[in-house]
Structure 1
Amino acid sequence: MRCALVTGGSRGIGRAICQKLAEDLQYHILINYQGNEAAARETLALVEEAGATGEIIRFDVGDLTKVQEALQSWSEKHPDAVVEVIVNNAGITRDGLLMWMEPDDWSSVLRTSLDGFYHVTRFFIQKLLRNRYGRIINMVSVSGVKGTAGQVNYSAAKAGIVGATKALAQEVAKRNITVNAVAPGFIRTDMTEGMDEKELVKLIPANRFGEVEEVADLVCFLASKKAGYITGEVININGGIYS
């Protein structure tokens, strides 16, 4: 059984990625979620509608023990399964100016994005190396590439993953494993719902917010065999806002 794991796969960009990997690459999709089981089940229904199989798997990516317990338990139940694709998509925001940023606002954002990348990827990396094939795609952000005021914590977490992506790509390239990052700009999701779209669109050369399906198409391409010679890259998908 060929599998793809998407962390934070229950809603938004994560959900669109689960659907697209199911539709285009026919993977068995592991939909990770932390709290919203109903949303995760909705994503699973969409995966099945696309003609693929999947299951939901609950753990907090920022908690090493929980990650190991959940993934170990899943691996033992599915000894013949091979996870070929990992999409590190889980992330949270706790925006605010640094001078007012509480320690927990800093640590929880770094724990989810940066530690989450480490916990999940490290669990699978030896298996990918043994199989001599893999696709690791890390969801970062325009904030991690150019920095965004009011998001020092989020920018730091995503910039950390950019550095990790470039380094890990060099460690595993000989084994036919690619590691890339995708950096979305303003994409229409729950996270951007409260934003003043009319004002923000003025900053975007393409004159609109992006759609989750557009991000999912890019991720799906990077997860495919067609992208075997692309590694260590950060691909911006932002309508020209930062290029």
Structure 2
Amino acid sequence: MPKSPPPGTAELRRDPLPLRGRTALVTGASRCGGIGYAIARRLAAYGASLYLHHHVPHDAAQPWGAEPSGPEAVADGVREALGDPQARVLHGPGDLTDPDAPAELMDRAAGALGRVDILVANHALSGSDGTLDTIDAAMLDAHWATDARSVILLTQAYARLRAALPPRTPGGRVVMMTSGQDIADGMPHEVAYALANGALASATRTLATALGDLAVTVNTVDPGPVDTDYLSGDVYEAIAARFPAGRWGMPDDPARLIAWLATDEAEWVTGQVVNSEGGFRRT
């Protein structure tokens, strides 16, 4: 087989809308201060149409609370970033602890957008965790159901939809999220969360192989500590000092990486766990 010629000038010119005509489902996009919102805005700016998943009861139960103006305000913020005037932003709820909810959400998103090219599984359960001495079966089950099982079931539903498209349809992307539980001392104060997110990191290569014949890449991103309005005061400042830049990661930091992984420029990157932590010193 002859080698491909080196790219010419035309191929090296950057498309300002590399996701024009593509569609994406972003889960956990329920607060304007969250990573899911930043990811959605980046994908929108690149030209994609989006379906945003939210589960307001989860945020309402957390110290930071739900988005005051509700999910429509989140969608409006993403619409403001749209790079393609023909693109659309829709949204809907889903309690992904229900075993049937991932497939239902995928079908709903595909029905609204026509298909789903890009799946970004950004959702996770906050709280309900502890050390090895304090965790119990309910904590383990809750994090497994939300953080790991639902992501695998979403990916399964996504793969079934992609399999119905013409062979090797371009643009297929799955991006999962993890939390650096395999770095330094791990997460000994959040054992249930670490176990569930670690399962996704471990499954990345397996899922990439499973979806390879569909021309779908699968990668997992560890964003490191990100300021999503959940911490302040002396602890906040102490963590900021652990970054060489002297600041926390902001939601747009991992969003830029994930948006790039969704483009054709990243089509040769798959099966990878990418630690994007800004040089954070864990110890």
TM-score between both structures, scaled by the size of structure 2:
0.77
Instruction: State the AA in 2 paired with 1:176.
Output: A
Q: Which amino acid aligns with 2:52?
A: I
Structure 1 position 191, deviation (Å): 3.7
Q: Secondary structure of the equivalent of 1:64?
A: coil
Higher relative helix content: 1
Greater shift, 63-72 or 26-35, is seen at 63-72
In the other structure, the counterpart of 2:145 is 111
Q: Could you tell me how far apart the structure 2 residues matched to 1:176 and 1:57 are? A: 28
Query: SS in structure 1 opposite 2:159?
Result: helix
Gaps of 5+ in 1: none
C-alpha change, 1:199 and 1:223, in structure 2 (3 Å) is same
| Partner residue in 2 for 1:97 | 131
- Please show how residues 69-218 of structure 1 align to structure 2 within 5 Å: 69-75=104-110, 77-78=111-112, 81-94=114-127, 95-131=129-165, 132=168, 133=170, 134-143=172-181, 145-146=183-184, 147-193=186-232, 196-218=235-257
Name the structure 2 match of 1:30.
51
What are the residue-to-residue correspondences of 1:199-238 with 2, within 5 Å? Answer: 199-238=238-277
2: distance between equivalents of 1:157 and 1:123?
20
Aligned to 2:78: 47
Closer/same/farther in 2, CA of residues 238 and 121 from structure 1, 3 Å limit:
same
TM-score under structure 1 normalisation? 0.89
Could you give the per-residue CA deviations for residues 194-225 of structure 1, whole angstroms, max 9, x where no partner exists?
78112223333333211111111000000111
Paired with 1:195 and 1:39, the residues of 2 have a C-alpha distance of 30
The match for 1:8 is: 28
Matched, 1:61 2:96: yes
More strand by share: 1
CA distance in 2, matches of 1:63, 1:4: 22
In the aligned structure 2, how far is the partner of 1:22 from the partner of 1:71?
19
Instruction: Specify the code of the residue in structure 1 equivalent to 2:211.
Output: V
TM-superposed deviation, 1:193 = 4.8
Query: Which has the greater radius of gyration?
Result: 2
- Give the deviation of 1:62 after TM superposition: 2.3
What's the offset of the Cα at 1:106?
1.9
CA distance in 2, matches of 1:194, 1:92: 24
Post-superposition shift, 1:228? 0.3
Task: Output one character per residue of 1:69-109: Cα deviation in whole Å (capped at 9) or x when no partner.
Answer: 3443554x44x712000001000232321211232222211
Contact 2:109 2:116 in 1 (8 A): no
The 3-state SS of whatever aligns with 2:95 is coil
Identity percentage over the alignment?
Answer: 28
Q: How far apart in 2 are the matches of 1:99 and 1:137?
A: 33
Alpha-carbon distance in structure 1 between the residues aligned to 2:235 and 2:136: 26
Distance of 1:195 and 1:97 partners within structure 2? 23
Give unmatched runs, 5+ long, in structure 2.
1-20, 57-65
Quick one: distance in 2 between partners of 1:238 and 1:55? 30
Asked if structure 2 preserves the Cα contact closer than 8 Å seen for 1:62 and 1:111, the reply is yes
Distance in 2 (CA, whole Å) between partners of 1:195 and 1:55 is 39
What is the CA–CA distance in structure 1 between the aligned matches of 2:216 and 2:272, rounded to whole Å? 13
